[in-house]
Structure 1
């Protein structure tokens, strides 16, 4: 039987942070289709710790013709973004490939409008540099942190499966948002942690050791972008322009990694050299929605239903749209 660690107190704190995130999203985020100057405002939820969208303002990409992209930084990651999208606090969400599965199972009305190329080095499992754990098989019976219903959950599944283990073979720990997993590893209260970049690169440069990342466990870890059905009805042109602007922003980041990583470093309070190292591992660009994209997402949905992460069986192809594929090129 799985020994699950999140106490009621930790769950309450995490829920409180998610509620705070939604409240922050509501502040200053008008739901109208147009601002007073006739410019359409598109509210895009993201988190400064991993997305492309947080650096839109640094390059002036939060404005494009008659569209203004309002960047909404949410505490609580993809789960907070799903809640905000459902509550009409945002129009678009930038999240991992697992997020849409959770959203669809929760009856959130949305479509997946675009996705990035794989980002396998963007998520990894780490241990303290002095840990006796040397391989994934050594994780049996150990305490491992992850975030339920996110890409870290999928990554952990893939890692354990590659070692002949299941989630039932380890002690699962969900840390409150904002917890420094590296410090908990050092304290001995945690054996391993599932971490996303640039936090992953930061920890690997300061006393943590990588057990695996997505490259060896078949975890592609792309970013997905979902738009509410309401936004697609009222702001379709703005959604299309966002996809085009996103493609251009990524092209700029790839051409000028030092400039983009400097913006990331400032946002996250990390050294510029760490941000640059993480930047070089990021996705190469957007990828058109195609059958392989849908099959990969269905695989996640099927496993999460089997594990009880989502409460109903879903068919994911109904939430994908290829309508914006032509806009996904810089």
Structure 2
């Protein structure tokens, strides 16, 4: 073998080694997933061994502040993927954050609702007129409120909007009359119902579909697409596991949140059972939300919600 051929082969071998090393390094770095322990599926990945899939691993990062904190961290490059409610992507798109919706669950309308104290005289939606209603601005709970008022034939200015500080014991405020109604999401929704609150209406009753959305930064999609595809497959597997074995996932949720296992199980049995493909139905749902939020002055511009979706990972949703 002549010298030039030996040099060429050595160079190729070195290049292959570098490429392999880079691939191993990229694969060894976990995909960073932001979630909420209160409602997120990703929060219990480890309970079923789903924090690893297809040679990739996932670092689950919980945020007590929910979707707003997750969106902020994603925009700062601290996360690759975030688990949000259906309003989260609208807020992120209105802020010109570079991301795409990579996956979504089936609707989860029964997982959110309007609560009143069990002794309250509020019996129908029209009884909410003039009442003090607690929710979190520009989140799923805000959307549930708007849909509830729409169904009641009321305008937003016909109720009192109450924004309680994070960590407030909402049920205690309901019991003392500080507020008349509150919007809650599971597992808190079920916990409140079991201990003194009454559900007036669910999200499903008023047309708030409440799927969970999974968004990835454009940077992560460009550089970590195989890992994102593996995450979507792991997510589909995890959602199916919770649906098939609700007692097992409820046990993990109860331990994570330190709540009554029975409450966790009741909530678990209402959760979506599988992922939904990214399609025109989901795009249309988010377009409706964005249009209403713009009309209410909650976002500063009209959006083409379809631009925030990608169907690139639809092929990964089969568990």
TM-score in terms of structure 2 length: 0.91
1:301 CA drift (Å): 0.2
The answer to whether the 8 A contact 2:27-2:227 is kept is no
Q: 1:236 aligns with which of 225, 229, 253?
A: 225
Instruction: Determine if the alignment matches structure 1 residue 224 to structure 2 residue 213.
Output: yes
How far apart in 2 are the matches of 1:157 and 1:185?
Answer: 20
Which segments of 5 or more consecutive residues in structure 1 lack a partner in the other structure?
A: 1-32
The answer to which structure has the higher helix fraction is 2
**For the structure 1 residues 37 and 223, does the alpha-carbon distance in structure 2 shift closer, same or farther, using more than 3 Å as the test?**
closer
Match of 1:297 in 2: 286
The answer to whether the 8 A contact 1:40-1:66 is kept is no
Correspondences of 1:18-29 after superposition (within 5 Å): none
1:259 CA drift (Å): 0.6
Instruction: Determine if the alignment matches structure 1 residue 178 to structure 2 residue 182.
Output: no
Instruction: Determine if the alignment matches structure 1 residue 111 to structure 2 residue 100.
Output: yes
Correspondences of 1:179-328 after superposition (within 5 Å): 179-328=168-317
The answer to whether the 8 A contact 1:35-1:41 is kept is no
Q: SS state of the match for residue 216, structure 2?
A: strand
1:65 CA drift (Å): 3.2
Deviations 1:1-60 (A, max 9, x none): xxxxxxxxxxxxxxxxxxxxxxxxxxxxxxxx9886951411110110001000001111
Deviations 1:119-177 (A, max 9, x none): 01000000011111111111111110111111111111001110001211111111122
Which ranges of 4 or more aligned residues in structure 1 deviate by more than 3 Å? 33-38
How far apart in 2 are the matches of 1:213 and 1:63?
Answer: 35
The answer to whether the 8 A contact 1:44-1:69 is kept is yes
Match of 1:155 in 2: 144
Q: SS state of the match for residue 30, structure 2?
A: strand
Q: SS state of the match for residue 50, structure 1?
A: coil
The answer to whether the 8 A contact 1:214-1:221 is kept is yes
Correspondences of 1:60-209 after superposition (within 5 Å): 60-209=49-198
Q: CA RMSD in A?
A: 1.3
TM-score in terms of structure 1 length: 0.88
How far apart in 2 are the matches of 1:295 and 1:35?
Answer: 40
Number of residue-to-residue matches in the alignment: 298
The answer to whether the 8 A contact 2:107-2:211 is kept is yes
**For the structure 1 residues 173 and 323, does the alpha-carbon distance in structure 2 shift closer, same or farther, using more than 3 Å as the test?**
same
1:193 CA drift (Å): 0.3
**For the structure 1 residues 37 and 45, does the alpha-carbon distance in structure 2 shift closer, same or farther, using more than 3 Å as the test?**
closer
How far apart in 1 are the matches of 2:24 and 2:199?
Answer: 47
How far apart in 2 are the matches of 1:237 and 1:305?
Answer: 35
Q: SS state of the match for residue 195, structure 1?
A: strand
How far apart in 1 are the matches of 2:124 and 2:74?
Answer: 39
